Amino acid sequence: MDHMTRKPVFLLVLVVLVSGLGRSFGQAPGVENLIDQSFRDMYNLRFEGALKKAEAAKAISKDDPLPWVAQSCALLFREFDRLHILRSEMFSTDEGFAARATEKWDPVTKKQFDDATNGAEKIAQGRLSRNKDDIQALFALTIINGLRADDDALITKKNLSALGYTKAATAYAERLLALAPNQYDAYLATGMGKYIVGGKAAPVRWLLRLGGLKGDQVQGIKELQMTADHGHYLAPFARIMLAFDDLRHKDRAEARKQLVWLHDQFPNNPLFVQEISKLELNSAPNGQ
């Protein structure tokens, strides 16, 4: 598909997930494996398992923000699942996204999410105060600001504050990638920011650039694809976003490839089967 002709997908989703970053962080023994398992459980909608593994990782390494990040991701993804947010109907058209409902968190889950994101941020900022080039801290702050953007954009529908968190996530991602360009999951943050802003009308794009948000749809798609191809924790989420974007641009064959890959990797998640079924129904003659 010629991405030069793509229209904007108004996705403020920078969320949930991370590229072999643990492999270069020098984590305590067992922590990397627990975080891997936590993310896999999350994508398979096994949220209790995901949260238990994040808690176990927190107990092992108290100065590591990534277990708190994994916990935050699982809580947000669980709320997305409860509210049926990650569905193609919301993301496949501008009209569908603009018409999305303002939702309400489960109060207990919201407190847990806020506690987890605040905990990750506190640890990460503490590490940065000791070393401004701490890769682990920069990564955590990239994801935490992305998660908060997701909350504001997709649940509570606070678009302006979501853009603020998007800007912060992009800034931390750029600092991280300047130090460690092989940390491909961070490209999800930079790619989404460029893609969103690049699709705005020229006057809006100009104002956003003044505020520090750069727009370039073609480069944004390339960076999302980099995360999908080479990322670790965030690769599945990047594939979800690319599949929805393919559906938006009527490229059903590419969308199906992404969804089949996701179903093969995470068979306990019914979302991917449901989206494949919608594709097949829409591709049938006369919708039959």
Beta strands in 109-201 (DSSP E): none
Full 3-state SS string of 44-76: CCCHHHHHHHHHHHHHHCCCCCHHHHHHHHHHH
Q: By the 8 A CB rule, do 135 and 183 touch?
A: yes
Give the torsion through C-alpha atoms of 104, 193, 121, 70, to 10 deg. 70
Encode 142-172: b = buried (16+ Cβ within 10 Å), e = exposed.
bbbbbbbbbbbbbbeebeeebbbbbbbbbbb
Q: State if pTM tops 0.85.
A: no
> Can you give the pLDDT of all 288 residues of the chain as single tens digits?
444 444 443 334 443 333 333 344 566 668 999 999 999 999 999 999 999 999 999 999 999 999 999 999 999 999 999 999 888 887 777 677 677 788 999 999 999 999 999 999 999 999 999 999 999 999 999 999 988 888 888 899 887 777 788 889 888 988 999 999 988 888 877 776 555 544 444 444 444 555 555 555 666 678 888 889 998 888 998 898 889 888 888 899 999 999 999 999 999 999 999 999 998 887 655 544
Residue 89 pLDDT: 84
pLDDT of residue 1: 47
Of 243, 265, 263, residue with least CA distance to 253: 243
Interatomic CA distance for residues 271 and 47, integer angstroms = 15
3-class state of residue 130 by DSSP:
helix
The domains of the chain are located at: 12-280
Output Rg (C-alpha) for the chain, integer angstroms.
18
- The upper half-sphere exposure of residue 37, i.e. CA atoms within 13 Å in the direction of its Cβ, equals 14
Q: Which fold would CATH assign to domain 12-280?
A: 1.25.40
Find, among 179, 263, 194, the residue nearest to 226 by Cα.
194
Q: How far apart are CA 95 and CA 7, in angstroms?
A: 13
pLDDT at 222: 80
* Residue in 57, 249, 232, 78 with CA at minimum distance from that of residue 147: 78
What is the model's pLDDT at position 25? 59
